[in-house]
Amino acid sequence: MKYRILFLFYLSLFFSCTFSEQEEAKSTDVKSTKEPVQETTPPKLQIAEVDTMVEEASFMQFFESFMWDDFFQKTRTDFPIYSDKVLISDSSSWTYLPFFTNTYAIPIIHDDTLTYFDKDIETEVVTMSVIDIYQSQSTDYFFDKTSKQWQLTGISTSPSSKKDGDDFFKFLHQFSQDSLFQIGHIQFPLPYHFNDPANDYSNEEGIRTINDWTYIEVIEKGMKLLSLDVMDTSRPIRDIFFRGVENGIYVHFTFKRIDGEWFLVKLIDHST
């Protein structure tokens, strides 16, 4: 009987301990499920600095906007600025410069077979001259490329003779006004390239002879010539491109100095 009572006592003690352990485990599980979830902050994005100054595609593309847009012209002029010896303090005193907007074409003098519109200028300082060969006067516009963008920094007027070391402008004046002088300064037969309107403006090649030549006033009175100081004046070649202003004009005259005199040696007319 004594052993039986002891057995029952140990048995009850065993179940009591087992139950306590189970309850403690349940309590621990409940606590673990109620622990607060730690919030994680997403990493900050590394935003690269953006360069807001967009580099312009070319000088001539800039100049087209500068020529046509009054507001753009003011924003791209570095005030205060001298026009000859007159100081213009700010944009409120600025007078819009129309350049070639009032004519049907821009005559551009070059020393290469590509125009400045087709070949960019690889310099950050440019002097652009607008030359009146009839008044023997040149108005020079000084442009600097700062912070990736072109700006007008100064204007001055001077005799065109300062830019005419080889007398080409004097020759061009006489060539444009004197029909006998013109025909005497063309190298015949003259290579002639043109777009044929009768054949869907296809590119055709031919020649012009002295017998079928018609006088051309290359630079008309009142028309001004555009020149850039990046031209190599030591070369015995001068190309004059007529680029239409809001029209399809594209004419290219090539002059060459032969035995000290200038001659027209090639004519291209790809006007449409």
Residue 252 parent element (H or E): strand 250-258
pLDDT of residue 5: 45
pLDDT tens string, the chain, 272 residues long: the values are 444 444 444 445 444 544 445 545 444 444 444 455 455 555 544 444 444 456 776 888 899 999 999 999 999 999 999 999 899 999 999 999 999 999 999 999 987 766 666 666 778 888 999 999 999 899 999 999 988 899 999 999 988 877 766 689 999 999 999 999 999 999 999 999 999 888 887 889 999 999 999 999 999 999 999 988 767 777 899 999 999 998 999 999 999 999 999 999 999 999 98
> Side by side, which strands form the sheet with 250-258?
86-88, 81-83, 149-159, 137-146, 125-132, 225-228, 105-110, 237-244, 250-258, 261-269, 190-196, 202-208
148 class by beta-carbon count within 10 Å (0-12 exposed, 13-18 middle, 19+ buried) = exposed
pLDDT of residue 36: 53
The pLDDT tens digits for 9-48 are: 444 544 454 444 554 544 444 444 445 545 555 554 444 4
